[in-house]
Chain A
Amino acid sequence: MVILIITTLLLVSLAVVLYPLLLPRAEASGLESDPAEELAERLRRARDRVYEEMRVLQQEHFLHHLTDAEYQERVRTARVRAALLLRQQQRVRETVAGLDRALEAEINRTLGPGQDDAAP
């Protein structure tokens, strides 16, 4: 019984550990993250941090930790940073969309006129 358990553990370990090594490289790479997505995600998180900062400022204002003037000045600065991040996000989206369009155009040129319908 003990030998059976040990053997089972060993075989399961080998199978689980070796399986990813047997995957084609492209399929394995697909399991990793896309740099463009990473950048978009990082910008989104930076923008969320600014929103959180504004929420905290509002809370501190309600709790009388900040005067009206202090609150207005700080939230104005945060709004500018949020706007800059939104603009950066938009640029990334446009750049990625532009690259997609360029890639599609290149593929169509390579396939030639009337070939794109025959693609499986």
Chain B
Amino acid sequence: MAELGTASIILALALAVYAAAGSLAGVWWRAPGLAISARRATYLVALVLGVATAALVVAFLRNEFGIQYVAENSNLAMPRIYTWVAFYAGNEGSLLYVAMALSVVSALTVWLLPRRLGALRPYTNIVLMLVVTFYLVVLMVLANPFRELAVVPVDGRGINPLLTHPGMFFHPPMLMLGLIATTVPFALATAGLLARKVDDDWVDWGRTWGIVAWALLGTGLLLGAWWAYTILGWGGYWAWDPVENAALMPFLGLTAFIHSIMVQKRRGMFRMWNIALINVTFGLANFGVFINRGGPVPSVHSFGASTLGWVFLAFLAVTVVGSFALFYYRLGILRSAQRLESALSREAAFLVNNLLLLGIAFVTMWGVVFPLLSEAVSGHTVTVAEPFYNQVNGPLMLALIALMGIGPLLPWRHATWTTLRRTMIVPFPVAAVLVAALAIGGVHKPVALLGFGVSGLVAASVLQEWVRGTHARHRASGAAYPVAFLQLIGANRPRYGGYVVHLAVVMLAFGIIGSSFYSLERDVILPVGQRAAIGEYEVEFVRTDTERFADRTERTATLRIYRDGQPLDTMTAWQAVYPSFRMISTRAAIRMTPVEDLYVLFSEVQPDGRSAAFRLLVNPLMLWMWLSGPVLLLGTVVALWPSRQRALAYAPALIAEPRVRP
């Protein structure tokens, strides 16, 4: 498999170089045959890298420990189901995954690009294939996953125990795919600049791929939070770790981009903003790759043994300088025909939205690079911890959520205070009632009340839009309310899909506010049969069980839970010791309800063998955070679902006589 894998990577590299060069030559020499040939080479890159991927997977399945990467990331005892995880567990394998994913995404982009964007196709292909070429060169020269060992070991080292978790089947590939998918809108935007075609035709396609990348990144981040919550053993889900931040920043950039591009679609404005945004986002994605692979900032996530940081830093520098040089060179043709007419308009709301998102990204970036800067300047490393991020980003995020409640209610171009008052007449009182009810119910922390209040504002705004729109449809068409609701969503899927995503953000905010401000925590040592109290619960230590395997020793602690003196549940906390990794892996016992989680972490058995240490936590509203993921995906699917050609059928009636509001 080593020979097949290496040969495939070499062939893929040759095809990628040809695809980029052939596209360029096809444009310069006006040779359509050459451009078509280059396009086909793009499709072949995906096929050939698929073969390389299959070769590595088969090598794992056949325990080919003569391949260094297989020996370092698996062993005879590893359950076959973890082969997929082992494939991208290490630096080399994950780079192969990234190259393969990018090649597939590139092939899809070039293949699906509509005819009306034909002028952009060769330039898009050039940009995509240049990025693919970079990754393939790194694979070939610096990080070949098929490198062979001089002496074949009898057994491998095994997979990192932290990766033997269900979340690991999805979190890393989705995160990496989301990061690499930012290449597509970047390529489309750059192609427009290269081809001097910066009218608004590329907007739909750029938005679609932007949303796809955004959804992948967002889901990947949420899965990572879930993984951290269940396996890292500190009861939290986000630590502002440099690698977490490095994925968050391009997510924020993409969020700004997919909103801002709607302004270009509807009003032909923000052309410069959108190009700059996607350039920044692509740069942040590359910064994330740099941090993750041998970057100078340590993290639980990074491939610590990688020395490739300088390569990705150089690539980052080239792409940032090159993209902004091209942006500056084409500035003259980017000016929008329309201007911002009013500060009280949806366009203005999107502009403020952009500024808040970029502000959060900048603060996060500052926190990541500040230790490096402090060391470079003063010789001392000043660590930036969670309080900095919470104190600075917290208010910005609150403002962003508040804007989510107001912005969608503003019309395009300009609004009057009269219409604004009329649209806010329900959401604001609803939010105020929610805050009052929570305050009466015992929620007294001002920041938490404010957070719940703005989240309530968003939810009330979305529900108001749905109710009004459904009622209007019902009166206009006579359809039953459920049918009218579905018709409403079908008539404007981007808008209403976006509202579903906004509700997902509200759910996420509820979980973050509840767990950040009202968590309880207690460390206890319990003898068998004894109980400890936390919140409304009592936790009784029942027993431990030990089971030995070839590569690990597993211990489970059984606990009985009581509330108001009555037995409620039985929970099992788990830990395993991996001697070869000198590591202990834990799984918390979690009892999840819509109101709160009871979280029990098994720490260690005491020397007397009859008592054990536990960390007990009560985390309010966590379930809403995890449920926000499927809701976010649902909203994304609704927003991206293709519409039938309604506009043409609808339009003649609109042109003849505008309809009067019932």
Chain A interface residues (CB < 8 Å from chain B):
2, 5-6, 9-10, 12-13, 16-21, 23, 25, 28-29, 31-33, 38, 41-42, 45, 48-49, 51-56, 58-68, 70-72, 74-76, 79, 82-83
Contacts and interface: CB of A to CB of B under 8 A. Distances in A.
Contacts of A28: 31-33, 36
A45 B201 contact: yes
A9 B8 contact: yes
Interface of B: 1, 3-4, 7-8, 11, 15, 18, 31-34, 36-37, 40-41, 43-44, 48, 51, 115-116, 118, 200-201, 266, 409-413, 415-416, 418-419, 422-423, 465, 468-469, 472, 476, 491-492, 495, 646-648, 650-651, 654-655, 658-661
Contacts of A29: 32
Interface of B is mostly: helix
B424 to A, nearest CB: 11
A16 B4 contact: no
A3 to B, nearest CB: 8
A89 to B, nearest CB: 13
Given A13-B48, A59-B469, 10 more contacts: A13-B15, A20-B33, A28-B36, A32-B32, A38-B116, A54-B655, A56-B492, A63-B465, A71-B661, A82-B651
25 contacts: A9-B8, A13-B44, A16-B40, A19-B37, A20-B36, A21-B34, A25-B32, A25-B33, A41-B116, A42-B116, A51-B651, A52-B647, A54-B655, A55-B492, A56-B412, A58-B654, A59-B469, A59-B492, A59-B495, A61-B661, A65-B410, A66-B419, A71-B658, A71-B661, A79-B655
B654 A68 contact: no
B115 A68 contact: no
Contact of A55 (B18, B37, B650, B661): B650
B468 A62 contact: yes
Contacts of A75: 654, 658
B109 to A, nearest CB: 18
A62 to B, nearest CB: 4
Contacts of A66: 411, 419
Q: Nearest 7 CB-CB pairs, A to B?
A: A51-B651, A28-B33, A20-B36, A62-B472, A51-B647, A65-B411, A20-B37
A2 B4 contact: yes
A48 B11 contact: no
Contacts of B18: 17
Nearest to B411: A65
A25 B34 CA distance: 10
Contacts of B650: 51, 55
A80 to B, nearest CB: 10
A31 B32 contact: yes
Contacts of A51: 647-648, 650-651, 654
Given A17-B37, A20-B37, A83 B658 contact: no
Contacts of A42: 116, 201
B11 A32 contact: no
Contacts of B647: 48, 51-52, 55
B469 A64 contact: no
Contact of B423 (A9, A32, A64, A79): A64
Given A16-B44, A53-B266, A79-B655, A67 B115 contact: no
Contacts of B3: 2, 6
A9 B51 contact: yes
Contacts of B492: 55-56, 59
A102 B533 CA distance: 94
A65 to B, nearest CB: 4
A54 B654 contact: yes
A25 B11 CA distance: 28
B410 A21 contact: no
A18 B37 contact: yes
